[in-house]
Amino acid sequence: MTNNKKHILVIDDDAATCDFLRELFEEEGWRVSAALNTAMALAAVQTEQFHLIVSDINLNEQWNGIELLKHFRQIAPQAQVILISGFGTLETAIEAVREGAFDFISKPFNVQEVVATARRALQLAEEATPPEPETLKELSARYASSGLVGHSRQMIELYMEIARVAAYRSTVLIIGESGTGKELVARAIHQHSPRVAHPFIAVNCGALTETLLEAELFGHVRGSFTGAISDKKGLFEEAEGGTIFLDEIGETSAALQVKLLRALQESEIRRVGATKATKIDVRVIAATNRNLEQEVKAGRFREDLYYRLSVITLLVPPLRERREDIPLLAHHFLRRTCAETGKQVTLSEQALKALYDYDWSGNVRELENSIEHAVLHSRGQVITEADLPVRLRKRKEGDSSWQARTFADLPSLEEMERRYLLHVLESVNGNRTRAAEVLQIDRRTLYRMAERFKINLDGE
């Protein structure tokens, strides 16, 4: 029902202005999203379609209205743009209109003027032709189906890495702080690999004693120890044809490390108590939040096993290094928690800002828990700062991280798409049919994209 409503994105670093415009526009029956800076705006524009963008001209020092306009043109070509000019920015505003902005409105606002201008812009947006589907959106959507949410440059690069390594058989080591999503990444690799029809089995190596872990992983034969009343397959054998995920690999004992090394080197395992080895075809993905190189130097982790495991190493970046994913993740968890609890709540701009400013040493898991906490504690229909866990409320005034991120940190959407296309072509050795399959587009679209990016499809 809300889908055919006109959708407006309001961007202003002053939350009060956002709220004012939101109320005004919602009264007109339009749907409104708000962003307090360029990073949030970018995240919003990449996930949702907007008919109109109403943006402050002076969002930060690096970007004047003209440059902002150019970026919006690129990432949301279907949207009309209205700029808000404050004191001293009138000239830029006029220039922006010459460059293709729909119009500008000045502060202090004249309510009638604001609504009338927005109405005219929306009319024009309706007449504009719908854009072609964007492959980068499709890319993110594909990973969203594996549960991975994020549009930051770092996450897009991670998706590309996943796509690249999924095809191989080789071992992958996933490193990253606790709660960054290492297990999700492992699952995504499996889901995008030729092994997808076979099992994915996750084992937490830190949760079991040495003897139990060995029996779990490799199985045992009847009578090999007290309680082994029959032969039992281990998880390696259960995962035949698929993938085994060894989480917290840094916690394994020296003796087990030897056995794992053998399994990797010889593709065979020996059940506890067995004399014969069993051949296996299982891909191993390991993860750790320890610094394994340091563990090797300290003599706690076998060097040869480390080299075996780290043929391919993927680093999952901490959340504080990809803050532009925070709004997206917050809404993702909010939607999920609302669905689970039957509550209907939204996030206030202030709460979102507090989430954005926080340091997230517990990464995505901590964000996930905080949103659940906030939903459970919210009394009204809107989550305010007061509903957030206490540690989040004490944000430092004047913290610059909120303002510091700009478009300058990110390659354009166009550039990311180009890189992705090149990367896919390379990984399928220029085979167009395969490339189209991988990209989940038809060949005509592939040709159009190649033409747009001036990529020669004939060359190998």
Ligand X SMILES: Nc1ncnc2c1ncn2[C@@H]1O[C@H](COP(=O)(O)OP(=O)(O)OP(=O)(O)O)[C@@H](O)[C@H]1O
**Span interacting with ligand X, options 144-152, 250-258, 296-304, 443-451, rule CB under 6 A:** 144-152
**Span interacting with ligand X, options 146-154, 345-353, 394-402, 430-438, rule CB under 6 A:** 146-154
Nearer to ligand X, 40 or 155 (CB): 155
* Residue 40 tokens, joined: 């949030």
Q: Is 160 in the site for ligand X (CB under 6 A)?
A: no
Q: How far is CA 329 from CA 77, 187, 336, 388, in A?
A: 25, 18, 11, 15
Parallel, antiparallel, or unpaired: how do β-strands 312-315 and 172-175 relate?
parallel
Q: Is 242 in the site for ligand X (CB under 6 A)?
A: no
**Count of residues that bind Mg ion according to CB under 5 A:** 2
Question: Shortest CA distance to 94 belongs to which of 63, 123, 65, 70?
Answer: 65
**Span interacting with ligand X, options 15-23, 49-57, 148-156, 402-410, rule CB under 6 A:** 148-156
Q: Is 349 in the site for ligand X (CB under 6 A)?
A: no
Q: Is there a contact between 308 and 302 (Cβ–Cβ < 8 Å)? A: no
Query: Quick one: what does residue 428 bind among Mg ion, ligand X, none, with the CB cut-off 5 to 8 Å set by partner type?
Result: none
**Alpha carbons 317 and 120: distance in angstroms, whole number:** 43
**Alpha carbons 123 and 125: distance in angstroms, whole number:** 5
The set of residues, in sequence order, having a beta carbon less than 8 Å from that of 70 and lying 6+ positions away, is 99
Parallel, antiparallel, or unpaired: how do β-strands 80-85 and 103-106 relate?
parallel
Q: Is there a contact between 260 and 252 (Cβ–Cβ < 8 Å)? A: yes
Q: Is there a contact between 392 and 354 (Cβ–Cβ < 8 Å)? A: yes
Q: Which residue of 180, 193, 243, 378 would you call a contact of ligand X, by CB under 6 A?
A: 180
Q: Is 147 in the site for ligand X (CB under 6 A)?
A: yes
Q: Is 183 in the site for Mg ion (CB under 5 A)?
A: yes
* Residue 449 tokens, joined: 């994209």
Query: Quick one: what does residue 118 bind among ligand X, Mg ion, none, with the CB cut-off 5 to 8 Å set by partner type?
Result: none
**Span interacting with Mg ion, options 183-191, 267-275, 330-338, 351-359, rule CB under 5 A:** 183-191
Nearer to ligand X, 102 or 333 (CB): 333
Q: Is 368 in the site for ligand X (CB under 6 A)?
A: yes
Residue ranges that bind Mg ion, judged by CB under 5 A: 183, 247
Residue ranges that bind ligand X, judged by CB under 6 A: 147-150, 176, 178-184, 247, 289, 329, 364-365, 368
